[in-house]
């Protein structure tokens, strides 16, 4: 009787496991939709398209980018979270922005931790602290001293309420003990125009957005915001190395699937994503956007999401930042 029960149990287990395994081996059998929650032409869209192209070649099925813009990325993320968890709808998430929206927006329409499971990280884009050349400070400590000495003379430009650029300034205020007010703009372009003209004197923006202006001498870079010196701005020290402990900001990107997606499908997608990120062609394309590829496990991506949600949630609460 024991052997019979044991055999029946084993057969039952196999009957459950085999369909999932067979499904994973056959996957994908049709095109995959990769939702990009921003308009065409932006950094997230470009990253999504180069990743989709490379993975399409390896998977043997097309990965088609679908742009679903709105509400700082929340519209597309919410739509992807409601898709069938079958591996045929994925999200190329701006993980930092989504993490910010989780705390900043009253109803973002999704829960980054409950509604999704990470496939893996794609990479990150570093930011830089830049000033107009009329600002006499050459280092972060000099800038902090200058702001504290003349607090009414300095404000910082932001490319949008709740953006990583905006919250970089708020994190700087918290870590440096300054009280710079923010000057909000509708996008990085208008903010950068006024920065170069000297209408505002301080800004945090992505390294690709500031690099040409730094090289031209129309802006001065005081620091990058990562934990290590950026390969794109090797002459510029980090803010941390200049004494601003705990000041680390990067815009992280990753691939997510709706919660409930079978684990064998997630494992296959993770392997294919990591393989794509090793491609010289993809590395070159990402480098043009200032993206450092970051192959990872699903668990490592989940840990990064947890860290981003905690960091920005605490800052938003401490600073009293409100959505527009």
Q: What is the pLDDT of residue 236?
A: 98
**pLDDT tens, position by position, 20-48:** 555 556 899 999 999 999 999 888 999 99
Identify the CA nearest to 100 among candidates 162, 165, 168: 162
Q: Is 245 left (phi over 0), alpha (psi -120 to 50) or beta?
A: beta
Nearest to 27 by CA among 50, 48, 67, 55: 55
Q: Packing angle between helix 263-277 and helix 280-287, nearest 10 degrees?
A: 80
Q: Classify residue 89 as exposed, middle or buried by CB count within 10 Å of its CB (0-12, 13-18, 19+).
A: buried
Cα–Cα distance measured from residue 227 to residue 193, given in angstroms and rounded to the nearest whole number: 28
pLDDT of residue 321: 86
The answer to whether the peptide bond before residue 212 is cis (omega within 30 degrees of 0) is no
- Quote the pLDDT of residue 317: 93
pLDDT of residue 324: 67
- Token code pair at residue 55: 């993975």
Cβ–Cβ < 8 Å for 161, 316 = no
pLDDT in tens, 146-201: 999 999 999 999 988 889 999 999 999 999 999 999 999 988 889 999 999 999 99
Residue segments in the chain with a per-residue pLDDT below the cut of 50: 1-13, 15, 18
Give pTM, 2 decimals: 0.88
Per-residue b or e along 142-178, where b marks 16 or more CB atoms closer than 10 Å to that residue's CB: ebbebbeeeeeebbbbbbbbbbbbbbbbbbbbebbeb
The most distant pair of C-alpha atoms in the chain lies apart, rounded to whole Å, by 88
Strand locations in 70-113 (E): 89-94
pLDDT at 1: 41
Residue 95 confidence (pLDDT): 96
Q: What is the pLDDT of residue 19?
A: 53
Q: What is the three-class DSSP state of 177?
A: coil
- Residue 25: the pLDDT is 67
């Amino acid at each position: 009787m024991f052997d019979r029960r044991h055999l029946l149990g084993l057969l039952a287990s196999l009957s459950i496991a085999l369909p999932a395994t067979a499904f994973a081996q056959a996957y994908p059998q049709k095109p995959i939709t990769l939702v990009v929650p921003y308009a065409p032409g932006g950094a997230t869209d470009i990253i999504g398209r180069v990743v989709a192209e490379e993975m399409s070649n390896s998977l043997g099925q097309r990965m088609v980018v679908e742009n679903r813009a709105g509400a700082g990325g929340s519209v597309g993320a919410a739509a992807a979270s409601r898709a069938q968890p079958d591996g045929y709808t994925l999200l190329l998430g701006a993980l930092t922005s989504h993490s910010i929206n989780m705390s900043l927006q009253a109803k973002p329409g999704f829960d980054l931790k409950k509604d999704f499971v990470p496939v893996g990280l794609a990479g990150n884009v570093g930011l830089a602290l830049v000033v107009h050349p009329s600002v006499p400070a050459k280092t972060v400590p000099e800038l902090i001293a200058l702001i504290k000495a003349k607090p009414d003379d300095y404000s910082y430009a932001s490319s949008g309420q709740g953006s990583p650029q905006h919250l970089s300034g708020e994190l700087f205020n918290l870590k440096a003990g300054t009280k710079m007010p923010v000057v909000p703009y509708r996008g990085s372009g208008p903010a950068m125009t006024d920065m170069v003209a000297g209408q505002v004197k301080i800004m945090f923006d992505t390294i690709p957005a500031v690099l040409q202006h730094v090289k031209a001498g129309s802006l001065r870079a005081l620091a990058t915001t990562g934990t290590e010196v950026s390969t794109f701005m090797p002459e510029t020290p980090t803010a941390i190395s200049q004494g601003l402990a705990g000041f680390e900001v990067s815009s992280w990107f990753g691939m997510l699937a709706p919660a409930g997606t079978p684990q064998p499908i997630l494992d296959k997608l993770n392997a294919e994503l990591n393989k794509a990120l090793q491609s010289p062609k993809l590395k070159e394309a990402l480098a043009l956007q200032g993206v450092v590829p970051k192959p990872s496990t699903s668990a490592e991506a989940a840990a990064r999401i947890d860290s981003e949600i905690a960091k920005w949630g605490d800052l938003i609460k401490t600073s009293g930042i409100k959505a527009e």
